Structure 1
Amino acid sequence: MVRPRSISDERLLTAASTVTGRHGPGFTLAQVAAEAGVAVGSVAKRFGSKDGLLQALCVEATRSAVESMRTASAGAGSPLDGLRAAAVSVYVGLGDAETAANHLGLLGMDIVDPVRRALLGEHFTAVETELRRLVRLALKELPGAPGPARAARTLLDVINGVSIDWSIRPKGKLADRLEQDIDAVLMGWMK
């Protein structure tokens, strides 16, 4: 008979996210296990390796980003406010500049690994798809938008670029910077 899991994947992935924020690409499974309050073998058995854990983190980041976008847009007053709130929500959870830089430091590792690069592509596609849906809802307020597909891609480029730039040259809060740059694009499309 198989013993039920007493330690959830969510608990282990939350611990892994916290640890990668502290240590960047040099994190260890031992650090993740300590953060989760479990034995190293529990983490290794669940994910197989550090690479397996990173793949699971990629999948979870995608799920979490889309969920965050949907929650943020649902709580907004208008479709345009929903689009703005969703775009800001994607990376606002990166934390302070050092934590953001550590999380984004994994990006280099993801890009050179074919499996994680594909998962990163799925992440960008999922975020872009949600942005496209929200752009369609806000089109009446954005008469100058280039169309949902191109507008979504442009907004994705802005939020990706801002998050990387801010982690290297942090001034103020990431959310404020995202709002300012997203608003600069959206204001141009309102004309």
Structure 2
Amino acid sequence: MPRPRTITDERLLAATAQVIGRRGPGFTLAEVAAAAGVSVGTVGQRFGSKGGLLRALTRQTAAEQAERMRRAADVADPVAGLRAALLSWFEGMTDPDEAQNHLAQLGVDLLDPELRALLADLYETTGRTVLELTRRVDLPRAPSPERAARVLTGLLYGVAMDWSVRPDGALADRLLEDVDAVLAAWKGR
């Protein structure tokens, strides 16, 4: 009879994200195991390889991102909801060095066709969620909801990347300033 799992995949994936933030793409399964407080064998048995671990992390991120954004948007004012959803995207990203390490990992992920396809799914899911939230908002000077969602999505990616290499202030503040500037212009203010 197999032993029950006391270590969840979520715990191992959270440790993976933490280690990537510290080490970037040079991270090892041993570092993930140490961060999770388990043996390397546990990580290897669960995910098979570093690639398997990264694929699982990307799938989990895709599943959680849309839900986190919808929860953040669940307020009375649709504009405030859209704004909160957009700001939730990089929630918790406060260290530019960690952001750089995650971006470095993204660069490596793009070289792997399977990870690149999973990232495309993640971006598609996120884009659909932004579109869904954008359609709820009255923005008389905005382009079509489809284009507005693309602009907002691109804005977030661009600000996060720029901040990771040229950190000036908090990422949340930079995102807030730029998102507010776009939404104010689209509202006609």
Gap regions ≥5 residues in structure 2: none
Match of 2:155 in 1: 158
CA contact (8 A) 1:68 1:89 kept: yes
Q: Which residues of 2 match residues 91-170 of structure 1 at below 5 A?
A: 91-138=90-137, 140=138, 142-170=139-167
TM-score, reference length from structure 2: 0.95
Paired-residue identity, %: 52
Distance 2:42 2:112 in 1: 25
- 1:171 aligns to 2:182 (yes or no): no
CA contact (8 A) 1:92 1:174 kept: no
The one-letter code of the counterpart of 2:104 is: G
- Superimposed CA distance per residue, residues 63-115 of structure 1 (whole angstroms, 9 cap, x where no aligned partner): 222122112111x3410000011011111322311111111111101111111
The one-letter code of the counterpart of 1:175 is: A
CA contact (8 A) 1:58 1:119 kept: yes
Distance 1:48 1:97 in 2: 31
Q: Which residues of 2 match residues 1-191 of structure 1 at below 5 A?
A: 1-74=1-74, 76-138=75-137, 140=138, 142-191=139-188
Distance 2:145 2:102 in 1: 29
Distance 1:170 1:59 in 2: 29
- Give the CA RMSD over aligned residues: 1.1
Number of aligned residue pairs = 188
Moved over 2 A (4+): 1-4, 92-95
Gap regions ≥5 residues in structure 1: none
CA contact (8 A) 1:94 1:103 kept: no
Distance 1:56 1:103 in 2: 16
The one-letter code of the counterpart of 1:36 is: A
